Structure 1
Amino acid sequence: MYKKIISILILMCTVITFSACGNFSKVGSNKTDDKNESQGKIQVVVSFNAMREFVEAVGKDKVEIKTMIPNGTEPHDFEPKARNLEDLNKAKVFVYNGFGMESWVDKSLKVLDNKQLVTVEASKGFDPIKNIDEGEIKEHGQNDPHVWLSLKGAEFQAKNIKEALVKVDPSNKDYYEKNYKDFSNQLDSLYNDYKKKFDTVANKNFVTGHAAFAYLCRDFGLKQSSVEDVFAEGEPTTKKMEELISYSKKNKIKTIFVEDMVSPKVSETLAKEVGAEVQKIYTLENQEDNKDYIQSMKSNLELIYNSLK
């Protein structure tokens, strides 16, 4: 508690220090600031990569985006730095996932001096999947936050983002509406393609390193089992490992999926025990392999589908 109080005080001092600064900066370059201002781009701060993808899809060349959580950082464990608060204090729009993903948001927003900021909780209004683990509920809240890994969830979040961009830039409403519709059509097309594929397989079970795919499973009637929990915390107990081995053998699991930022060691051990292969799957919390959202999700769906055939 003492450390949290000190952290808040430091952030407050930092915001006061930078509140007089007028321009939204990118790596401290005044030239870039001037250029962006002259182009009239909306300055948007997002919490992590998936939110950046959606803002980019809808806003395209009319937005300038800064991502708070850098690649290589586990979003569930992130705490904002002074420079992140500086960026928020100069932005027009702040987009975060919500549903407990970014536990630091309320604390950070309280210390800002930015009356123009439009805040977007991208998951707000979406039908949540409830956490069932008491420890997770106590620490992170009632809801599974991984809405963006559902194509239907991504469409919902992109709509919330579109509405915020229209609010701050109504003169370009048609532009944002068109971009959103184009993105939505891509999502629907991908969903329809794989709904047909998943409907043809009898086996609906797959195993991941991190329980991030519950919303994807809801989309397609699938079931995930995982090495780590919803918030990528803790290795499984011996009992849990035995259950995963038994589950994998019973359901003829051919592939154990591993994700960026989750240790592959336990997944590799599990795969060895059940005679399965290990394959990488994307959570889109970080930008990986130069793939955009559609490319990453198509790869995920194809890998899962092939593992079930």
Structure 2
Amino acid sequence: GGGGGGGGGGADALVIFGMYVKEYGPEAPPANRGRVFVECIDSTPLYGSEAPQERQRALTAIVHGYLEHCRRRGFALAHMRVPPPTDEFSHIFAARTAAVRAKALQHVSHWYRRILQQAVHDGVVVHFQSAPSPASPAFPPSLLSIRDVAAERAYLQLVAAYPDAAAGGGPDAPRERFFVAVLQPPGGGQVTVGPDATELLASEAAGNRKDLVDLCARERLYFHTAAHARHSTRRLTLLLLRSQAPPPPARSASAAGVAFPSPTTSSGAASIATPPL
């Protein structure tokens, strides 16, 4: 499997979106082979006059682009999971309280359905199905990490003890949290996953979602305002570039002028206060 994130690193760029995925090619165990699991999708708060509809259209287009990329490479199925409110680590940019996670459950469930409905309409996927649990054979539990399984068990216990509160309450409570999209038409024969020709920026600091979350916490990177996000985007881009670059040569007069700035001299690092959220 592999992971990836989305964002920007220009002078005025702001990170607004992150996504981690796991791709299971021919070498994967049979139960997971030919599948893609969208492990996490996260977005920063809206900035300034940005409209929610604009952000949602942009994020939907990114997800559609990735699903199309997977379809062209030959993956058979794409999986998406709405994390339960008992999952404390279902984020990239900022942790959320249990109350916020419970409120987001219904919103994310409906958004995933709209994403896949539009993907079917646009011909990105053939069709999709959904279920309240991964019990369906189409969503093998082997896709979930140990932490995911623990969060799911805790959620089942919460639902059993407090059905209305755990499910969000009311008739509109989400019944769909596990989505499976079929990427290839029936009768296509054995699925063969081709190599990824995309130019990837490999980074030891972001290859694992927990590593990236820990990095943001350690470096005090916050994204709750445009000013904080602008500073944090610059700093995060620098850190990711550093983590993938080869060791610098011995310091010399010519090399000193192009060396990465240190945290204490990084442009803008001291100009924006970064209080905890």
Report which structure shows greater RCO (CA 8 Å, sep ≥6): 2
TM-score, structure 2 length as denominator?
A: 0.28
Q: 1 or 2, which has the higher helix percentage? A: 1
TM-score, structure 1 length as denominator?
A: 0.26
